[in-house]
Amino acid sequence: MVDWKKPPRLFIPGPVKVDEEVLQQLARPTLSHRGAEYAQLHGETVDMLKKILFTDQNVFLSTSSASGIWEAAIRNCVDTDEVVLCTCCGAFSDKWAEVAASCARNVEALKVDWGSATTSEMIDEKLAAGKYAAVTIVYNETSTGLTNPVYQISEMMKDKYPDVLVFVDAVSAMVGLPLHFDDLGWDVTFASVQKAFAIPPGLAVAVVSDRALEKSKSVPGRGYYFDFQQFAKNAAKSQTPTTPNIPHIMALHHQCTKLLAEGMENVWQRHREMAEYVRTWALEKFDLFCEQKYASDTLTTVKNTRGINVAETIAAIQAKHNTIFGNGYGKLKEQTFRIAHMGDITLGDLEQLLGWIDDEIRQ
């Protein structure tokens, strides 16, 4: 019987470890979501997010997980007679293509093998050969532990295809990896807060460009809950269209304050250091699943070269240390395992975890 009063220490790639002071934010008395106090909380949080994400454009707070914004980007910004190119390099990018198709849009997939990156040359070749309204890219593929070269892709897009909208899933990237939204020329990006923001699940942050917002005005069938026009109308009053997850926004305000005090360059550097520590261990004891040059700074997907029983190893560490790390995702379940190094996880936490894994694999 699981004792939920003694929750395990989490090293799965989301939800991740949450600090006590963040949990305390979730326990604060609530506010009226149409009152002045909420508007101040919302306005300050959005202003901080604009600094964190390097944008002067539209930041929306969505009481949903990030998957909602997969659907929102498509339903708001791609018309039914247009074609969206979905780049696919792992479980989550594959899923976004499925979501786009389920929104009755014309989808073309650009697939690479899991563990490989989607490069600007591949996208260029595809876009040169057809007419596309938008491209979807996953910044950091959480299944394979791979970071796509989104800065190079964005330069190419701005240079050669300035009219094609760029949608970027930054779910396991945002805050942990550089993200200069306006300079990159992106149109929609988003993340849920249970990743590098280090908050329990229940809220998503979305950034929408002015031109994407303008386009959405003419796209029919945007639906109700994720209509960007409604988000924008309410954002003008520092509100959300429907009742928001106020405790999470309090926690997000707290985390944004901390991130800005640390400085984003330092935050990214901290993630790089944790990643290098885990990668060095993984290369010594196992291997990386993806090509090393694309290995993510927010999680490592370790290739199970020793043929350990991943499920049993995770269970043993949970039993002895009340700590869990991630198994492989989907078809990679036993071929890989995943260790998160994002948010408020520390090098000290990782040292402990890797020591425990070492103890298990020595036996």
Ligand X SMILES: Cc1ncc(COP(=O)(O)O)c(C=O)c1O
Task: Summarize as ranges the residues that interact with ligand X (CB under 6 A).
Answer: 14, 65-67, 92, 138, 142, 169, 171-172, 192
Q: In whole angstroms, what separates CA 173 from the centre of its chain?
A: 5
Nearer to ligand X, 169 or 297 (CB): 169
The answer to whether the beta carbons of residues 41 and 253 sit under 8 Å apart is: yes
Task: Kindly compute the dihedral angle of the four CA atoms of residues 336, 342, 347, 350, in this order, to the nearest 10 degrees.
Answer: -30
**In the complex with ligand X, which residue's Cβ is closer, 67 or 106?**
67
Nearer to ligand X, 65 or 242 (CB): 65
- Shortest separation between residue 150's beta carbon and ligand X, angstroms: 13
- Residue 186 Cβ vs ligand X, minimum distance, rounded to whole Å: 15
* Min dist. Cβ of residue 136 to ligand X (A): 11
| Beta carbon of residue 353, minimum distance to ligand X (angstroms, whole number) | 19
Specify the residue, 18 or 31, whose C-beta has the smaller distance to ligand X.
18
Distances (CA, A) of 166 to 71, 135, 187: 14, 5, 5
How far apart are CB 70 and ligand X at their closest, in Å? 7
Q: Which of 169/187 has CB closer to ligand X?
A: 169
Least distance to ligand X from the beta carbon of 319, Å? 25
Q: Which residue lies nearer to ligand X by CB, 72 or 314?
A: 72
